[in-house]
């Protein structure tokens, strides 16, 4: 146990013991007309010992307070509003101000975070948060995150982080197995679906060369943005309009590939979605896999939202064909009960990621992997990277896939229950049926403005949050029901209140 430093950063500085304490950063930076003098550091003996060290008892006191706060939050989920947006001036009056130069009261500062910063956001773990994609994080995952952060875990190079790297490789193997992907599948964790999809597509282009990427008008917007910014030209981004079923139309895709070849362009990659953000729809993965096999085109599946549904039987049925993908993305911070952030990219063709991303500079030679080991920095553009795997590993070890499968299946069942409630009430029209935890609907005769106003009023009253979206020009309301803590009564209460605002 380290001995208590003297004085700690929470103590009032004693200017006589530390002459620098009387000089703030402003004094150092003051403009002067004299030629700049390059100052050297004060002699070590004149400086205080580690100025940032804390007394272990103090760390325990502060840390236990944090645990109490988080447990109170987790146990009391649903007692506050599902969404709260703050006033910029009010928030800044507590959280803003000039750069603090003197030690402050950490306890009081933490209270400001808990009382002012953290309440003002979308509470994706609230049982009546149905907007966009909820984030129903689980407590073991929080513990895993804390352990990694507290130990400054790094998963960059084998020699510099073989433990966290192994946890990440194991977690990727577990996820590949849940999805039914081949044993040789390789993976890497990233900040989320946007980065994971782009990481895959960059690798495909780096290894196979340039060509056309095919996606649909329901593909997540981050993908087309990523492709554009990464240098795909307009004619290399082929956005195929969907029909009424909102699925990537295979025949139109076949026609476009032929036309592209005719025009001298190479069909490179089909980007299918397994659970679209708008409606939870799954593209026809088997047919797309057949087409890609014939055309020798890479099949990438964005399962950022829907991928974890593979844990349970109804989800596996929906995702049939995903096992034939060349690469798959899924987002554990959506439907695998993880705190932000963690996305996962899995590639079934071994070596592709390393071929695209390997970078072994001279200063990393000492920590670079040998045979049978992996440098995770060589699987994406991230070099220094935290261990996002610990939380997922702990969740999977702690609950086992059976409980996680039940939790996922509950999300699917909740959307089906909501669909039943909507169909039983002539006030509502179901626009797209419950698919992988998403149902969209409209109030009969309502305009888009009516929907937007009612959704906003429901958020403002704090009871629940849901989103509107637009499907082929039509405004709809949308419930995403993946929080296993949601009850049937939550859905009934939400629809009753929503109707009252229409």
Ligand X SMILES: Cc1ncc(COP(=O)(O)O)c(C=O)c1O
Residues found near ligand X in the complex (CB under 6 A): 133, 192-194, 220, 222, 273, 277, 302, 304-305, 331, 343
CB of 157 vs ligand X, minimal distance in Å: 25
CB of 461 vs ligand X, minimal distance in Å: 25
Q: How many CA atoms lie within 13 A of 7 on its CB side?
A: 12
> Is the preceding peptide bond at 341 cis, omega within 30 degrees of 0?
yes
Closest CA to 396 of 344, 332, 319: 332
In the bound state with ligand X, the residue whose beta carbon lies nearer, of 304 and 394, is: 304
> Is the preceding peptide bond at 7 cis, omega within 30 degrees of 0?
yes
In the bound state with ligand X, the residue whose beta carbon lies nearer, of 304 and 471, is: 304
In the bound state with ligand X, the residue whose beta carbon lies nearer, of 220 and 410, is: 220
Strand-pairing partners, residue 303, are 330
In the bound state with ligand X, the residue whose beta carbon lies nearer, of 133 and 291, is: 133
Determine how β-strand 237-240 pairs with β-strand 212-216: parallel
Q: How many CA atoms lie within 13 A of 427 on its CB side?
A: 11
Residue 54 burial (C-beta neighbours within 10 Å; 0-12, 13-18, 19+): middle
Residue whose pair of structure tokens reads 């992996």 in the numeric block = 374
Q: Which two tokens stand for residue 432?
A: 């797209």
Do 385 and 154 meet the contact criterion of CB atoms below 8 Å apart?
A: yes
d(CA 9, CA 12): 8
In the bound state with ligand X, the residue whose beta carbon lies nearer, of 82 and 304, is: 304
Determine how β-strand 327-330 pairs with β-strand 343-347: antiparallel
CB of 278 vs ligand X, minimal distance in Å: 9
Q: Which two tokens stand for residue 8?
A: 């700690």
CB of 329 vs ligand X, minimal distance in Å: 7
In the bound state with ligand X, the residue whose beta carbon lies nearer, of 193 and 249, is: 193
In the bound state with ligand X, the residue whose beta carbon lies nearer, of 232 and 305, is: 305
């Amino acid at each position: 146990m380290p001995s208590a430093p003297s004085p700690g950063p929470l103590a009032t500085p004693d200017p006589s013991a530390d002459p620098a304490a009387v000089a703030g950063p402003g004094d150092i930076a003051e403009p002067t007309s004299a030629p700049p003098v390059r100052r050297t550091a004060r002699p070590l003996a004149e400086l205080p010992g580690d100025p940032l060290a804390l007394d272990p008892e103090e760390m325990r006191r502060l840390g236990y307070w944090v645990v109490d706060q988080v447990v109170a939050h987790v146990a009391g989920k649903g007692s506050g509003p599902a969404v709260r947006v703050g006033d910029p001036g009010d928030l800044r009056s507590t959280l803003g101000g000039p750069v603090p130069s003197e030690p402050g009261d950490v306890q009081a500062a933490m209270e400001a975070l808990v009382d002012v910063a953290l309440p003002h956001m979308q509470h994706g773990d609230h049982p009546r948060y149905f907007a966009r994609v909820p984030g129903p994080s689980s407590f073991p995952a929080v513990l895993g995150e804390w352990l990694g952060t507290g130990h400054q875990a790094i998963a960059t190079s084998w020699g510099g982080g073989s433990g966290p790297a192994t946890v990440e490789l194991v977690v990727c193997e577990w996820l590949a197995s849940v999805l039914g992907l081949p044993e040789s599948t390789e993976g890497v964790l990233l900040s989320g679906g946007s980065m994971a999809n782009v990481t895959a597509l960059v690798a495909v282009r780096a290894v196979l060369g340039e060509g056309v990427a095919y996606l649909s008008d329901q593909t997540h917007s981050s993908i087309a943005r990523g492709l554009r910014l990464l240098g795909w030209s307009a004619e290399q981004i082929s956005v195929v309009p969907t029909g009424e079923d909102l699925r990537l139309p295979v025949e139109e895709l076949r026609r476009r590939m032929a036309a592209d070849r005719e025009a001298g362009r190479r069909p490179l990659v089909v980007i299918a979605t397994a659970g679209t953000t708008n409606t939870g729809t799954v593209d026809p993965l088997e047919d797309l896999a057949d087409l890609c096999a014939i055309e020798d085109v890479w099949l990438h599946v964005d399962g950022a939202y829907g991928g974890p549904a593979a844990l349970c039987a109804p989800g596996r049925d929906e995702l049939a064909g995903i096992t034939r993908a060349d690469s798959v993305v899924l987002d554990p911070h959506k439907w695998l009960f993880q705190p932000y952030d963690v996305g996962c990219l899995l590639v079934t063709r071994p070596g592709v990621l390393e071929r695209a991303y390997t970078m072994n500079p001279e200063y990393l030679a000492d920590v670079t992997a040998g045979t049978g080991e992996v440098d995770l920095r060589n699987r994406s553009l991230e070099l220094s990277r935290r261990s996002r795997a610990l939380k997922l590993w702990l969740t999977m070890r702690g609950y086992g896939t059976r409980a996680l499968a039940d939790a996922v299946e509950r999300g699917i069942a909740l959307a089906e229950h909501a669909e039943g409630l909507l169909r039983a009430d002539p006030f509502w029209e179901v626009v797209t049926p419950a698919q992988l935890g998403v149902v969209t609907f409209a109030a009969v005769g309502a305009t888009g403005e009516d929907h937007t106003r009612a959704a906003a009023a429901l958020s403002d009253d704090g009871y629940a949050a849901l989103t509107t979206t637009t499907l082929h020009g039509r405004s709809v309301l949308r419930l995403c029901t993946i929080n296993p803590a949601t009850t049937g009564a939550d859905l009934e209460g939400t629809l009753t209140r929503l109707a009252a605002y229409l």
